[in-house]
Amino acid sequence: MYRICKAFTIETGHMLSKHPERCKYPHGHTRRVELVISAPSLDENDMVCDFKWIKLAMAEYLDQFDHALCVNAEDPILEQLGSAGERVIVFDEGDPTTELMAKRIHDHLNAHIRAGRSFTAKSGVTYTIKPHVRVERVRVGETPTSWAEYGES
């Protein structure tokens, strides 16, 4: 199996309403997001896929998290945050933990691969993905010494 990894860095905030200590208050992290993609064989360019495809598929999606506050849909403070608009990301599935963020990013990337999405760069070059390519895992760092990962078995 061949594997490649494309990493991004984003600054995100979150608050964990279920946490018993300080993490229930708004705080932020410099997060390293690593996308590991695999394939049993290489494409006609001798690649799993072009790194540019990953960048085009994910940069805009990941940008929504940059300098945004992630909040649980059940958090009582959510209504007060409404005026922040697009810089508030609501997690319906629970507290916006690093684990759930990794799954959310995984699912977005996986949907692009399954759909066989192509992306065109500003240069006019179109990048494609082959159907045998898989998202092996998404790793999201929370601190320099802590990370969470999501991948399908």
The full set of domains in the chain, from first to last, is 2-67+98-150 (3.30.479.10)
Give the pTM. 0.93
Please report which helix (H) or strand (E) contains residue 110, including its range.
Answer: helix 98-115
| φ/ψ of residue 72, rounded to 5 | -65, 135
* Per-residue model confidence (pLDDT) at position 80: 77
pLDDT digits (tens, 9 = 90+) for 94-137: 999 999 999 999 999 999 999 999 999 999 999 999 999 999 99
* Per-residue model confidence (pLDDT) at position 79: 79
Statement: residue 82 has pLDDT above 80:
no
Stretch 72-82: mean pLDDT: 82
Beta strands in the chain (DSSP E): 2-14, 27-39, 68-72, 88-91, 119-120, 126-127, 134-143, 146-150
Q: Is the four-CA dihedral 27, 91, 118, 149 of positive or negative sign? A: positive
State the chain's maximal CA–CA distance in angstroms. Answer: 53
| Nearest-angstrom CA–CA distance, 111 and 53 | 14
